[in-house]
Every structure is written in C-alpha cells, then in structure tokens.
Amino acid sequence: MISTRRITLSLALLTLVATTALAQTPVDTNAASTSGQSPTTQPISDTVKPDYFAIIGGFEGDTHSTGYAFLGPSYVRPLSPSLAFTARVFANYLFYEFDDGLGGTKVTSPGISTSAGLRFGEKNWFSVQAGPSFKFRTETMTRGSGEIEESETRIGVSLGADAYINPTSHNNIHAMVNYGTEDQYIWSRVAFKEQITNRNWSGKITNFVGAEVIPQGNDQIRSILIGGLFETVFVPSSFSFVVRGGYKRSTFEVGEPRTGPYFGVGIYRQFR
C-alpha cells in the first residue's frame, strides 16, 4: 500500500497533478475563469460572478508504455467574491507496465472519478475536493506458460487540491495533486507560465511559455517528469490549448529504471 507519508508530503506541497490538463489558463475578459487567470488590468469586483461550466481534457504519454488521459465537465458556482463551490466528473484512463521479475505486468485502468469541494480566493486561490471514483482495472501478467489476466472493478475515493498564484500581471504558478484510492496512485504537478504575447489583452490570441515538474506513481511505478509547455488562449472565447513535453524517468520495485521523452496535450473550453 502507498505510504501515508507520501500522501501527506504531496498535499503539503500545495497540491503538486491529473489530468494534464487542469493546469490550463483560459481567460475570460469579463470574469475570472475556472483556473483563476483573469486580466489583472481589470480590478477584482465585489460582486458575485455568475456560475459556469467547462469541458477539460488532456493526455500524457511516454516512450515506455505509460500514460494517462481524462475528459469531462467541471462546474463552478461562486458563493461570494472569494468563495466558490466546485464539482467535476471525469472519465479517465491510466495505463502502465513494469518488470515484476517473472516476465512483466501490464496494467490498464479506465474509470470515472467525481469530486466536489470549495475554492477560496479569486485572483489567487486554493481549492480542495473529494468524491467517489470507480475503476475497471485489468492486470495482464506474462509468464512462461503464456498470459494471465486478472480483472476487477474497484470503488474508491478521489482526493485533490489545487493552488493558483499570480505573482505579476503576466505570469502565474499552478500546483495540484490528486490521489485515487482505487489505484493508490498520486498524480501531482507544479507549473510556472509566462505570458509572451498580447499583454494588454487587446488581441484575440494570447500565448504562454513555461516549465513543469510532475511527480507521480504508486508502489508499482514511480515517475518524475521535467519539461516545458506552450499554451495558446483564445480571447474572449475562454478556450485554450496547451502542448507539453520533456524528460521522464520511471523506477520500479523490480527491474531497471526507464527513461525517455514524454508528451502531453490539454484543452479547456468554458461555457456560461
């Protein structure tokens, strides 16, 4: 079982995660977006913003047969200028393989995760969420006599937290972590982005470049990813697209470490 110390450490690092993709920074020039980014040339209003939905999705893969994908709706209902209720439902798919000393094991784990929680703050914010999750997990073990397949449905809890900070009007830091008890898997991420175009928000396209660090894994596989990102935000349609990539190193309880490049994409579309 994954250690309590690892869970506590990850949460303490301001939710280092997921989804790839919850780190998008869509911008609505009329109101703050679900990821907290808003043009800082506009003062923060004391009025409560209207509620909104968003579609969020992403994929992350590498050269050693490990990856994660998710897609689903998110809902934010502001309760006050600095407090909001949040809810998410995501279909997701986790897959990886490792050397178990007997021939190798492949894991595929599609599922559905739900969560609800609270977000504190407006320009800079912190959120926590939790909810039931479901996995349809299959382990395929290669042995001398062939392949042995074991499948099961797991019911667990998804726990997560996010923090979003805008040090200046043209850059931001996003940290997140998510832990699912079904796979005992932690996905965490810290990213920094710098706005490189359209700083006065007069145009329709805004670009960001940045860097990220992603620790993730469970007792079967542990990985660290270090890379960069490029994001394009279309204003004021609240749509963004990000591409990510870099270097990944994975270690296992048995077998040699695996290293190589990784690649990720993410999308965000907000609806009011």
CA pair distance 164, 77, nearest whole angstrom: 18
- What residues pair up with 268 in beta bridges, in sequence order? 56, 240
Could you tell me if 221 and 252 are in contact, meaning their C-beta atoms sit under 8 angstroms apart?
A: yes
Q: What is the dihedral of CA 175, 181, 184, 186, to 10 degrees?
A: 0
Identify the three-state secondary structure at position 4: helix
The enclosing H or E element of 163 equals strand 146-168
Enumerate domains of the chain plus CATH numbers. 4-271 (2.40.128)
pTM over 0.85: no
The answer, yes or no, to whether residue 133 has pLDDT greater than 50, is: yes
Instruction: Write the pLDDT tens digit of every residue in 188-206.
Output: 999 999 999 999 888 999 9
Instruction: Write the pLDDT tens digit of every residue in 51-78.
Output: 999 999 999 999 988 999 999 999 999 9
How confident is the model at residue 143, as a pLDDT? 82
Other CB atoms within 10 Å distance of the CB of residue 155: 11
Whole-number average pLDDT of the chain: 84
Q: How many CA atoms lie within 13 A of 22 on its CB side?
A: 28
CA pair distance 214, 195, nearest whole angstrom: 21
CA pair distance 246, 18, nearest whole angstrom: 17
